[in-house]
Structure 1
Amino acid sequence: MKASIIIPSYNAKERLYLNLTALNCQSYDGDDVEVVVIDNGSTDNTIEMLKCFELKYPMKIIRIEKNRGIAYGRNEGILSAEGEILIFHDSDMIASKDYLKQHIDAHIKPNQVVCGLFWRRIFTYYYKNFTYDQVANFEKIREKFGLHRLSLYWDAYPLIEEESIKDEDLWEYSFDLDFGFINDLKEIVKQFGRNFTDYYLPWRFFITNNVSVEKQKVMDVGMFDTNIVRYGYEDYDLGVRLYKSGCNFVMADYILSLHQEHPANYRSDDLIVNINFMCDKYNNIYFIDVPLVCMSDNLGLDRDSLNGIVKDIYQLIPNNEYHDILQIFLDVLQVIRKRLFSPLEDNGKPVFLSFINKLDYYIKKILIIEEKEGVNYFIKELSALLKQAFDIDFERLLKANRKEKGGSYE
């Protein structure tokens, strides 16, 4: 079997139906593809719809009686999948006609993680419990295409016809998600290209509504982490492990799929819970980039600074002599994180005392690293972290010692 399309679904019957309709319109006619749909404890008769749906590809239906999180559901699909390539395609998605063919063709080389375009949106149904921003976006579309006023819609009111999927007319109704995180990723692609040349955080593009990877690679790194049950970050988590294992990430933004807008399914504290989980899980110098990305907004890091810091970290890691400096960087970063998101776990005092007791050593060590390695982004951020966490003006101390020593720190 060449490929398995993995589709987890929870109470999304009407959107899943359109998803499968689009798969029936795929240009790929090979008999070496399967679709694996995981009904993740739905209560909206999803399973009955699936049993009646006639799909052009073989379809496996997995029913999980109790929703144990999307990571668990995807893992059940992975274990059942027979394809060499896994294509992750959420229930809310509508694939373009060449979607499947393009994903398969992109794996002509081994060891690839193929990231399709994931920020395109469409309203296929109108829901009464849309957020304010979703209603505002819908109003823009409604005015542009002459749709009815909001007062005329009931909940889950259909806005497009099946024929528009077959003809691909619906693409003119689609729009890019206007969100800071998404806009930043777009700029990264412009700056570093589809192959992410000199970009050290491509795992940020591992978004599981449009991404593909060899099944064996996913199995090798342990599949999705089922401890992540809140909204989001289970894809980041797998992406991190795939990247660290040596997979090559490519941005295939020509592989198109539309995300159908639906009511928000996250809680207000999901972000904090997930950040704390990721920072605790990856509290290791070989994974400093993970808590650094999680904290980047709070630290005021732009994309160039963030990438520069991570590049410097990768430069330092191979040398065991620098590991204590990397460890203090991580420890101070975690102090700031806990103060912001988990204040009851504040460990600032022992980290502060450990640093102050060896202050002269750390100053000398940083100056040696600066002389030998450069790594200016890393040193600048370490100084900023120490200032934020402990009000230590480390930059001033470094400057004073540079003048005093006059150049050589061996």
Structure 2
Amino acid sequence: MLTSVVIPIRDAADQLLYTLFSLNLQFTAFEEFEVIVLDNASCDGVAERVERFDAHYPVRVIRFRRRMPYYHLINAGIARASGDLVILLSCNMMVPREFIGVHRHAHELSDKLVLLGLGTTRIYSVYEPDFSPIQQQECREWLELYPHIKRPHTMHSTVPLLEESQIVSGQLFHIGLPCPEAEKRQAIRQKYGPRLEQHRSPWTLFQTQHVSVLRENLLRAGGCKELPKLEMERDLAKRLLRKGCQFQFADKLTLIKQERAIRKVRAQSVSKKNRRAQ
């Protein structure tokens, strides 16, 4: 089963390269999956850096010259995917070696499956000067615990902190910080089981940062509608459910979420919306 990993990105080249490197370590044969990077008008040279990256698998960059809404990116990724299986993945999610294999095996057992992300731990793989005060403090405290992780040589520039050998060894999966959202999902899994039996609204757990669906089912459901991200995800999930898809947690996978700065543009966007409402 050819698998397409679809990764939207905007201005997170350093985190993306760590994610792409983690995909170089997959147990699955490299000719059995591809990666599609959706560069949403980035300003940090994402496309050029991906093209220079030594990927062991086929990787394609779809570059948008002007910023596009999120639903448009996901639809473009689905349309360009060559695989029977589509995995939607956030650009800052490093994956374990069995990542592709677990998704493929689950869908080989069921052709009506939506496999949802479950386990996640957090790390500071890249220092960003735009980190919030809370992130700055947490980053310092985390680095103090693990002296083998590189320190930023400046507080005024973006600095990658990891060596490839640390990803290869798998040690990062054991030194991560708790992820509150993942802890909530684990509580849901404990209550309803991995197949979410008796859960009344499984569509609320559908997130494009880590989920897999057969491409045929995504197309049958009609793809993503023109909605804000959260509403778009839930709308798509509801239509997949109506098409007979079953939702299930990916019990065997724990991903590493790389911390990113919360961009000021988001706050500005919210502010503009509030002004329009007034």
The separation in 1 between residues aligned to 2:44 and 2:155, in whole angstroms, is: 20
Instruction: Give 1 or 2: higher helix fraction.
Output: 1
Q: 1:33 to 1:220 in 2, by over 3 A?
A: same
| Residue identity opposite 1:267 in structure 2 | R
34-43 or 135-144, which moves further after superposition? Answer: 135-144
| Residue identity opposite 1:144 in structure 2 | L
| Residue identity opposite 1:145 in structure 2 | Y
Tell me if structure 2 keeps the 8 A contact 1:118–1:207. no
The separation in 1 between residues aligned to 2:194 and 2:22, in whole angstroms, is: 26
The separation in 2 between residues aligned to 1:223 and 1:269, in whole angstroms, is: 29
Structure 1 position 43, deviation (Å): 1.7
3-state SS, counterpart of residue 25 of structure 1: coil
| Residue identity opposite 1:21 in structure 2 | F
- Provide Cα deviations, 1:57-94, integer angstroms capped at 9, x if missing partner: 11222111111122211211110111111011121111
Q: 1:60 to 1:158 in 2, by over 3 A?
A: closer
Pairs within 5 Å for 1:169-188: 169-178=171-180, 182-188=182-188
- Provide Cα deviations, 1:111-138, integer angstroms capped at 9, x if missing partner: 0000122542111011111123322432
3-state SS, counterpart of residue 174 of structure 2: helix
Match of 2:247 among 241, 249, 265: 249
Residue in 1 that maps onto 2:266: 267
| Residue identity opposite 2:243 in structure 1 | S
Residue in 2 that maps onto 1:68: 68
Tell me if structure 2 keeps the 8 A contact 1:103–1:255. no
Q: 1:244 to 1:137 in 2, by over 3 A?
A: farther
Is 2:242 the partner of 1:240? no
Q: 1:23 to 1:148 in 2, by over 3 A?
A: closer
Structure 1 position 270, deviation (Å): 7.2
Tell me if structure 1 keeps the 8 A contact 2:118–2:185. no
- Provide Cα deviations, 1:183-228, integer angstroms capped at 9, x if missing partner: 4333111111101111111112212122100111111122122332
110-119 or 74-83, which moves further after superposition? Answer: 110-119
Residue in 2 that maps onto 1:168: 170
Tell me if structure 1 keeps the 8 A contact 2:118–2:253. yes
Aligned residue pairs, count? 273
| Residue identity opposite 1:42 in structure 2 | S
Structure 1 position 269, deviation (Å): 8.3
| Residue identity opposite 2:222 in structure 1 | G
Tell me if structure 1 keeps the 8 A contact 2:119–2:186. no
Residue in 2 that maps onto 1:126: 127
The separation in 2 between residues aligned to 1:52 and 1:236, in whole angstroms, is: 36
Pairs within 5 Å for 1:5-404: 5-29=5-29, 31-107=31-107, 108-117=109-118, 119-146=120-147, 153-178=155-180, 182-228=182-228, 232-265=230-263, 267-268=266-267
| Residue identity opposite 1:131 in structure 2 | S
State the Cα RMSD in Å.
2.7
The separation in 1 between residues aligned to 2:126 and 2:30, in whole angstroms, is: 32
Q: 1:203 to 1:258 in 2, by over 3 A?
A: same
Task: Choose 1 or 2 for highest CA Rg.
Answer: 1
Q: 1:173 to 1:196 in 2, by over 3 A?
A: same
77-86 or 235-244, which moves further after superposition? Answer: 235-244
Structure 1 position 238, deviation (Å): 1.9
The separation in 2 between residues aligned to 1:134 and 1:190, in whole angstroms, is: 30
The separation in 2 between residues aligned to 1:269 and 1:200, in whole angstroms, is: 35
The separation in 2 between residues aligned to 1:226 and 1:245, in whole angstroms, is: 20
3-state SS, counterpart of residue 31 of structure 1: helix
Tell me if structure 2 keeps the 8 A contact 1:160–1:170. no
Tell me if structure 2 keeps the 8 A contact 1:118–1:209. no
Tell me if structure 1 keeps the 8 A contact 2:125–2:160. yes
| Residue identity opposite 1:172 in structure 2 | H
TM-score by length of 2: 0.88
Tell me if structure 2 keeps the 8 A contact 1:141–1:173. no
Q: 1:148 to 1:56 in 2, by over 3 A?
A: closer
Q: 1:70 to 1:57 in 2, by over 3 A?
A: same
Tell me if structure 1 keeps the 8 A contact 2:120–2:254. no
3-state SS, counterpart of residue 86 of structure 2: strand
TM-score by length of 1: 0.61
The answer to which structure, 1 or 2, has the higher relative contact order (CA under 8 A, 6+ apart) is 2
Q: 1:140 to 1:163 in 2, by over 3 A?
A: same
